[in-house]
Amino acid sequence: MLASCAPMSNVSGRLEENGLLVDTDAFRIVQNGKTTAWRAYIVVRNEALKFPVCIYRFSENDYSALWMQCAHQGAEVQVAGDYLHCPAHGSEYDNRGRVTNGPAETNLRTFPVSVSSNQLFIDLRKR
């Protein structure tokens, strides 16, 4: 099935000792009890985290997890489809967290994502 431009899903995830657990079902778009498409990304907001984490889904086993704090001066970036934009001074990042437009000079922080049993584990130990 194809990735979709359907509205993003905000989820809280479950905070564990070393990271976040997120159900892969958060990416499903379900109509009449059937998965009709997959969201291209979700945003995980958890009150224990200072910034949200954007998770892009590229395939069943390929995800990126991006800390949504701008590498320039620390504002919260916003998702704009397949890229992220900083409203403070205009920096942009691609869906792997690589800076594509300044003034930021470095990439967003990213976290390893592992997939098992319909769950993602986002390893936050280096956040």
What x/- string results for residues 49 through 88 when contact with ligand FES is judged by CB under 6 A? ---------------------x-xxxx----------x-x
**Residue closer to ligand FES, measured from CB, 73 or 100:** 73
Q: Which of 89, 100, 101, 115 binds ligand FES (CB under 6 A)?
A: 89
Tokens of 49: 């985290």
Question: Which phi and psi angles does 40 have, rounded to 5°?
Answer: -75, -25
Q: Is the peptide bond before 103 cis (omega within 30 degrees of 0)?
A: yes
Distance, in Å, from the CA atom of 34 to the CA atom of 37, rounded to the nearest integer, reads 9
Cβ at position 88, least distance to ligand FES in Å: 4
Question: Is the peptide bond preceding residue 7 cis, with omega within 30 degrees of 0?
Answer: no
Our CA angle for 7, 101, 73, nearest 5°, is 90
Is residue 24 at the binding interface for ligand FES, with CB under 6 A as the rule? no
Do you know the residue count of the chain? Answer: 127
Examine residue 101 and tell whether it contacts ligand FES (CB under 6 A).
no
We find the least distance from the C-beta atom of residue 71 to ligand FES, in angstroms, to be 7
Binders of ligand FES: how many residues, by CB under 6 A?
12
Binding site for ligand FES (CB under 6 A): 70, 72-75, 86, 88-91, 103-104
